[in-house]
Amino acid sequence: MLDASQCHHLWGSTSDDGTVVIDPDDAQHAIKSLRLKSGDHVVVLDGSGTATYCELISLSRKVVTGKRCHSLPDYGKVAGDLHIAMAPTKQMDRMHLFIEKAIEMGVHAITPLICFHSERRHVPINRILRVARAACKQSHKGHMPTIHEAIPFNKFIQQHDESRRLAMAICLGYRQDWGTWLQSDKATTLLIGPEGDFSDDEWELANKQGADAVSLGDHRLRTETAGLLAVAQYAGKFSDS
């Protein structure tokens, strides 16, 4: 009987013929920590949206393979379309924390945004991808959110797709409440600035691209906390409707 949610979730790839190969890191984990054996069932994710419920065939050293039993399309699909473009935090562990929790709560894309007041201007993407994969496995999400390379603010705004609604979280001046501003049937991009906030030039540039100023409440929030609050309230908007 298939009950995918009770199985271990591993990262790997599935060929058209149904052969499953587990990624080396997870293969070792499967053998050494989980002590899986041939005949055991696992769910294999590759980030594409379709997961594979499979039976393990062979586990040797670092190579673990299996055979597809069922495809699980739209596995753990997250409703809506929320892209958070956020200044990277000074400490990378806070950025990783944001990635992990945002994926658990349900985000669709993340871009580290290099702003005028950003202290951190380089974001190692490989570690972020590892954290993101672990979050997908932990929260049973077949679809890996798109994690973009870090990009300067101006470039991000120039590339903005105008069919998406655009909001900028700012701390002062006239702002609409984020939760009220949200329309759950529209693809949405939210810009979140660094500790020193966005510069006036950045706000003008975003405003020209149609961005609305939004508030994430009256509290003074760290960057990553602002990001989490935004994702949580977006997720709530969907479960309300």
**How far is 142 from 114, CA to CA, in rounded Å?**
29
Show contacts with its own copies in window 120-159 (CB under 8 A).
138-141
The CA-based angle 143-145-146, given to 5 degrees, is 125
List 25, 40, 104, 212, residue binding its own copies (CB under 8 A): 104
3-state secondary structure of 108: coil
Q: Which is nearer to its own copies, 20 or 229 (CB)?
A: 229
Q: Tell me the three state secondary structure of residue 199.
A: coil
Strands 176-177 and 82-86: unpaired
SS3 65: strand
Q: Rounded to the nearest whole angstrom, what is the least distance from the CB of residue 231 to its own copies in the complex?
A: 8
Does residue 105 belong to the site contacting its own copies (CB under 8 A)?
A: yes
Nearer to its own copies, 65 or 139 (CB): 139
User: With respect to its own copies, which residue has the nearer C-beta, 80 or 153?
Assistant: 80
Interface positions, 169-198, toward its own copies (CB under 8 A): 177-180
Residue 229 touches its own copies, criterion: CB under 8 A: yes
CB of 42 to its own copies, least distance (A): 16
CB atoms within 10 A of CB 175: 17
Nearest to its own copies of 152, 236 (CB atom): 236
- Residue holding tokens 């920590």? 33
Q: Which is nearer to its own copies, 160 or 165 (CB)?
A: 165
N-to-C CA span, the chain: 33
Look up tokens 């935090």; give the residue.
89
Range list of β-strands (E), 73-222: 82-86, 109-114, 146-147, 151-152, 165-169, 176-177, 188-192, 212-215
Q: Between 29 and 140, whose beta carbon lies closer to its own copies?
A: 140
Residue 21: CB minimum distance to its own copies, A: 25
Kindly state the smallest distance separating residue 100's Cβ from its own copies, in Å. 8
Q: Would you tell me which residues interact with its own copies (CB under 8 A)?
A: 5, 76, 78, 97, 101, 104-106, 138-141, 177-180, 215, 217-222, 225, 228-229, 232-233, 235-236, 238-240
